[in-house]
């Protein structure tokens, strides 16, 4: 499978470096350290803190190169507008990416205003007064057909890249987000942890997922057994051959050793870039969440059931994630005989 990337692509910029970060203002370094320690004390997840740190590093490096390395507490609204414009125009950020970094700056500002008020008595959070860019989707949406993903799975198996194949199949058959895939454990996939006559794996414990609030919400996670098991079996056999004993289904590897730690999100990002090249269209993990939802809809699974399987708070999300073409949807209900009678589907038939 050889091809060129098209469609949805992310702008990767070498904005930060160790050399630049070593030169950021001492006070800004201290604020970052104290702020991240505060987040940890309020039980924010490691992944959330990691993202906040990365966002701050981008801002510090801009501040170093384009704003005289100014102390954060002295930065003005005009300078924040300049930062926003630079990120959008020079770095090519999407509005959504800009909003994410703004949220980090806003959180740091509120931390200073509310927690460090004895040290910075006159400080006021100001970024909220600056209008953010419209939250529009700047990248082309990728919609996958089942045969495309099956071809990719076949290729990975042919190359004996069983870990990638298993991770991709898990995403395809569970609809979980990128950040949730590393949280699956080997022990979750046992016959005693299936429901619906063996059609679904159900995790024996609740797993932390993304949701309202910084830490998300715990959910039981479900995976279709029949289409997933072949790739799971291949990876488990490969794990045994490699002597991997980690509890995590996809363990981290460092200096040739397999750790009892889950893989990093950066590893999944790297795999996504590889999949993009192989598929000839942009692959991103969230597109597979759309694929999973669309597949359940195509089998006639009621929206309320899909809502529970995926873990949404509202069945309205099903329509948002359903990528079924309108004409294809019509064909299910209309034909030469006129209106067709369609019975609700079941998970056992997938």
Q: State the Cα–Cα distance between residues 169 and 221, nearest whole angstrom.
A: 15
pLDDT tens by residue, 179-205: 999 999 999 999 999 999 999 999 999
Q: State the Cα–Cα distance between residues 350 and 130, nearest whole angstrom.
A: 49
Q: State the Cα–Cα distance between residues 91 and 323, nearest whole angstrom.
A: 31
Average pLDDT over residues 221-250: 98
Collapsed DSSP state (helix, strand, coil) of residue 173 = helix
- What is the third-level CATH fold of 146-329? hpI Integrase; Chain A (1.10.443)
- Domain positions in the chain are 18-129, 146-329
State the residue for tokens 């030169």. 23
User: Angle 162-174/146-158 helices, nearest 10 degrees?
Assistant: 160
Average pLDDT over residues 231-241: 98
User: In whole numbers, what is the pLDDT of the chain averaged over residues?
Assistant: 89
pLDDT tens by residue, 1-23: 544 334 444 444 568 899 999 99
Q: How many CA atoms lie within 13 A of 163 on its CB side?
A: 19
State the residue for tokens 């609030």. 213
Q: Which class in CATH covers the domain with range 18-129?
A: mainly alpha
Average pLDDT over residues 215-238: 93
What per-residue confidence (pLDDT) applies to 45? 84
Of 20-34, 75-89, 177-191, 215-229, least confident by mean pLDDT is 215-229
How many residues appear in the chain?
350
pLDDT tens by residue, 109-147: 999 999 999 999 999 999 999 999 886 554 578 999 999
CB contact at 8 A, 301 and 345? yes
At residue 117, what are phi and psi to the nearest 5 degrees? Answer: -65, -20
Average pLDDT over residues 308-313: 93
Give the pLDDT band (50/70/90) at residue 343.
low
Burial (0-12, 13-18, 19+ Cβ within 10 Å), 68: exposed
What per-residue confidence (pLDDT) applies to 91? 87
Cross-strand bridge partners of residue 258: 253
Q: Which residue has the higher pLDDT, 321 or 141?
A: 321
Of 184-188, 228-232, 337-341, least confident by mean pLDDT is 337-341
Q: Which residue has the higher pLDDT, 23 or 333?
A: 23
What per-residue confidence (pLDDT) applies to 344? 64
């Amino acid at each position: 499978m050889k091809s060129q990337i098209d469609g949805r692509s992310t702008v990767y910029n070498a904005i930060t470096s160790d050399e630049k970060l070593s030169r950021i203002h001492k006070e800004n370094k201290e604020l970052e350290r104290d702020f991240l320690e505060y987040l940890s004390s309020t039980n924010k997840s490691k992944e959330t803190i990691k993202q906040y740190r990365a966002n701050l590093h981008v801002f510090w490096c801009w501040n170093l190169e384009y704003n005289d390395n100014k102390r954060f507490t002295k930065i003005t609204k005009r300078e924040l507008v300049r930062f926003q414009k630079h990120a959008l125009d020079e770095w090519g950020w999407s509005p959504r990416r800009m909003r994410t970094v703004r949220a980090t700056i806003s959180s740091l500002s509120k931390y200073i205003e509310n927690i460090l008020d004895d040290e910075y008595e006159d400080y006021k959070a100001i970024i909220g007064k600056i209008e953010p860019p419209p939250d529009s989707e700047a990248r082309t949406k990728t919609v996958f057909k089942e045969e495309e993903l099956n071809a990719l799975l076949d290729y990975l198996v042919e190359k004996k890249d069983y870990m990638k194949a298993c991770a991709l199949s898990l995403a395809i058959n569970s609809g979980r987000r990128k950040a949730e895939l590393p949280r699956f454990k080997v022990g979750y996939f046992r016959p005693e942890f299936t429901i619906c006559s063996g059609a679904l794996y159900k995790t024996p414990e609740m797993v932390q997922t993304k949701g309202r609030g910084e830490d998300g919400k715990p959910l039981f996670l479900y995976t279709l057994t029949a289409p997933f098991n072949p790739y799971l079996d291949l990876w488990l056999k490969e794990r045994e051959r490699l002597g991997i004993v980690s509890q995590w289904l996809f363990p981290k590897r460092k200096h040739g050793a397999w750790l009892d730690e889950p893989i990093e999100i950066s590893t999944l990002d790297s795999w996504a870039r590889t999949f993009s090249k192989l598929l000839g269209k942009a692959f991103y993990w969230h597109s597979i969440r759309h694929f999973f939802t669309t597949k359940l809809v195509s089998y006639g699974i009621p929206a309320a059931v899909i809502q529970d399987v995926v873990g949404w708070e509202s069945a309205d999300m099903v329509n948002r994630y359903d990528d079924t073409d309108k004409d294809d949807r019509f064909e299910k209900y209309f034909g030469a005989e006129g209106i067709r009678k369609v019975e609700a589907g079941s998970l056992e038939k997938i």
